[in-house]
A and B are shown apart, each in its own frame.
Chain A
């Protein structure tokens, strides 16, 4: 009886036959059988509990992993699922720093470059070195030795104000950062920033402009502003998987580059920089010459533009006073606009060669014509005099060249009087005086002409326009017109951007510019020869460089007084425009000095010497040989 019973129970408990045989032999009595039964039940119970708890854990695991509820955990961000938390930990959006393109000059000198700067924050409550507290005095002394613009006393005073988060300095260079890091003092915090650096400071500020140092840097002036599209490289960022790894005692992020496509995109940056047509040496030479004259005549402001007449590229564009773009915040906003481009002025006598060219092109005068200069003339009831009428009176009979040499207003009126006023007006318009010029630098102001009806009805309007008054234009427009005289009548587009160049200087992109014929080459040749006599024998002698053929024209214009329509008797604007070398014109140079003070303030005395020294520099920089090389040998 016992045997089958035991077997039955054993079969129930899934014991194998071998153990059941052993049991059978050991437990042959009823008592033994009962004990065995309870043992089996206990075993089952333990097994059951273990299995149940394992199943429970598995269920919980399934819930946490698959169902993924919001976890209740102190440190976990609120409302985030485990999946989200894990994702946040294991991945990071990396922003790859794509530096703004460099700006280089004609020769490859770097005018603007991105660099890392550091901001220094101090937390005095943390001042420690190797767990030993460092007294603030010591920190202040050591910092003062590194930061040149602060004394230890000043720093100590700053430390006493607050115990944390004091900004000590900004725009620290890499070198200062390394020195501070070497101090190994806790509580000195350096944060990294990128900022634009202009190594040549104010030398090319009016062309290059500046980028401000806000949290999100924005270009504010010059090429930086107008060529934003060429300068800015798109920011690259993508979500990267990461883990952490102990490296040199620090827990560092290790990134999984992932798809090759992304990596390729990241590494495919170019080394192109924006090349300008500016020549830094010429820029500096022009500034020095301009500054000298401005100081001598205590002038309000001045500008020099040097333009290559063949294509309109600008080799130098100088405004004085100017600013240092590295410390732009210290300057008046007025300085950030480039007044040679944005401000209109009445060109005065520098416009006379243009008028002569218009008259020659219209066929109303011939280069051999002569005019009787009476010294003064009455137009519409207004008496107009030559500038030197009080000292020299009437000049008598003058050739066209002599009219320019002596800058005779009366003769100019006589020339223009030969033309139909409406025709003259239209020809002025054709010069593009009132048109918007697409210039590389921001803020170009179109010139201003009187309206056509007023101009054609009143003869005084045409008369004043004949010697460059009664209308206004920017210095840039004036030099563009003079370039047309120099290059055979083509109106070229002024520009400062040469293109995108690689590190070897090869251009990968170039802007294209249009030009338009406005005078005939015969006309411009004869006007150029007339202008040459101005430098040789006339008012432009101050710009003469021996051995070279230079053409030029002076200008001394009265300034329109602030409110009313009259002219200011004391304020004038002196200018000189030079073309060089005459035998094969390359450069047109314009110098404008606004409101010079003192005696003898004319274009011939204030502005012409500037052009003269710019030409000297051009000769040295470009290696331009004198006209008659043989005679010098």
Chain B
């Protein structure tokens, strides 16, 4: 498997010859060049670190297997979470939220019905003779002519005048 030729003697091989493999890292290279420098300075053969022996083919295969199984495990975990979300969590949330929606709609209708019933009850009470409430009629109403209209009093085609005092008094309904 290894593309590295086994060195016969412990000499200082030229980097190009000694490290033909592209797999070697740059860091490794600089380390080596440092040691070369040191060796040149002292100019004496000293025993150097033996080159890292290439990994056995079996180990490499196992490493690859480990890496890929790790990747597979991640994929599986992610997919199982996704499956859980789509088959358990979403339906659960959906069912819950739908029930909430239904409850809210029911309550809204109930509220509308109660509110309108109350208005009706109030109106009925207001109609009783002992309620002491006065009906609005033309005699107890103050009609105020808008300024623009009073300047041109010929305009009788718009008899509906704005009167805030009328609109604020509910008749019950």
Contact = CB atoms under 8 A, between A and B. Distances in A.
A243 B91 contact: yes
B92 A245 contact: yes
Nearest to A102: B112
A255 B91 contact: yes
A110 interface: yes
A227 interface: no
B31 interface: no
A621 B137 CA distance: 9
Interface in A616-633: 616, 619-627, 629-630, 632-633
A113 B172 CA distance: 20
A327 B109 CA distance: 20
Interface in B55-75: none
A199 interface: yes
Interface string B86-123: 01001110110010001001100110110111011001
Contact of A280 (B90, B166, B173): B173
Contact of A199 (B90, B102, B113, B167): B113
Nearest to A197: B113
A627 B153 CA distance: 11
B163 interface: yes
A620 B171 CA distance: 9
Given A620-B166, A624-B160, A199 B136 contact: no
A116 B113 CA distance: 11
Given A547-B138, A626-B143, A99 B117 contact: no
Given A245-B92, A254-B91, A583-B156, A109 B116 contact: yes
A116 B103 CA distance: 11
Contacts of B145: 625, 629-630, 633
Contacts of A546: 138
A625 B159 contact: yes
Contacts of B127: 284, 288
A624 B127 CA distance: 23
B1 interface: no
A619 B173 contact: no
Contacts of A284: 123, 127, 172-173
A166 interface: no
Contacts of A254: 91-92, 95
B137 A623 contact: no
A114 interface: yes
Nearest to B141: A620
Interface string B22-48: 000000000000000000000000000
B138 A623 contact: no
Among A107, A245, A619, max chain B CB count under 10 A is at A619
Nearest to B153: A630
Contacts of A622: 160
A174 interface: yes
A629 B91 contact: no
A537 interface: no
Query: Chain B at the A interface: mostly helix, strand, loop or mixed?
Result: helix
B1 to A, nearest CB: 30
A281 B95 contact: no
Interface in A281-309: 281, 284, 288
B158 interface: yes
A584 interface: yes
A281 B92 CA distance: 48
Q: Which interface residue of A619, A625, A627, A630 has the most chain B CB atoms within 10 A? A: A625
A257 interface: yes
Contact of B159 (A243, A245, A616, A624): A624
B159 A584 contact: yes
A586 B123 CA distance: 26
Contacts of B115: 110
B173 A583 contact: no
A257 B113 contact: no
A619 B138 contact: yes
Interface string B135-169: 11110010101000010010011111111001100
Contacts of A110: 112-113, 115-116
A203 interface: yes
Contacts of B120: 199-201, 203
A173 B109 CA distance: 12
A110 B135 CA distance: 23
B2 to A, nearest CB: 33
A584 B156 contact: yes
Contacts of B87: 256
Contacts of B123: 284
B137 A616 contact: yes
A128 interface: no
Contact of B94 (A174, A245, A257): A257
Contacts of B141: 619-620
Determine which residue in B94, B119, B159 has the highest number of CB atoms from chain A within 10 A of its CB, and name it.
B159
A611 to B, nearest CB: 15
Instruction: With a 10 A CB-CB cut-off, give which of A281, A288, A623 has the most chain B CB atoms.
Output: A623
A24 interface: no
A257 B90 contact: yes
A596 interface: no
Interface in A534-587: 545-548, 581, 583-584, 586
A174 B173 CA distance: 25
Nearest to B162: A623
Nearest to A545: B138
Interface in A567-613: 581, 583-584, 586
A96 B158 CA distance: 50
Nearest to B94: A257
Contacts of A621: 171
A253 interface: yes
A115 interface: yes
B140 to A, nearest CB: 9
B136 A256 contact: no
A201 B116 CA distance: 10
Contacts of A630: 145, 150, 153
Contacts of B162: 623
Given A99-B109, A284-B173, A584 B143 contact: no
Given A624-B159, A633-B145, 10 more contacts: A110-B113, A113-B109, A199-B117, A199-B119, A203-B120, A581-B159, A619-B141, A623-B167, A624-B160, A629-B143
19 contacts: A113-B112, A113-B113, A116-B110, A174-B106, A199-B120, A203-B120, A245-B92, A284-B173, A547-B138, A583-B157, A584-B156, A584-B158, A616-B138, A623-B162, A623-B163, A624-B159, A627-B156, A629-B145, A630-B153
Interface of A: 97, 99, 102, 107, 109-110, 113-116, 173-174, 197, 199-201, 203, 242-243, 245, 252-257, 280-281, 284, 288, 545-548, 581, 583-584, 586, 616, 619-627, 629-630, 632-633
Interface of B: 87, 90-92, 94-95, 98, 102, 105-106, 109-110, 112-113, 115-117, 119-120, 123, 127, 135-138, 141, 143, 145, 150, 153, 156-163, 166-167, 171-173
The 5 closest A-B pairs by CB, nearest first: A199-B116, A620-B136, A281-B173, A625-B143, A625-B161
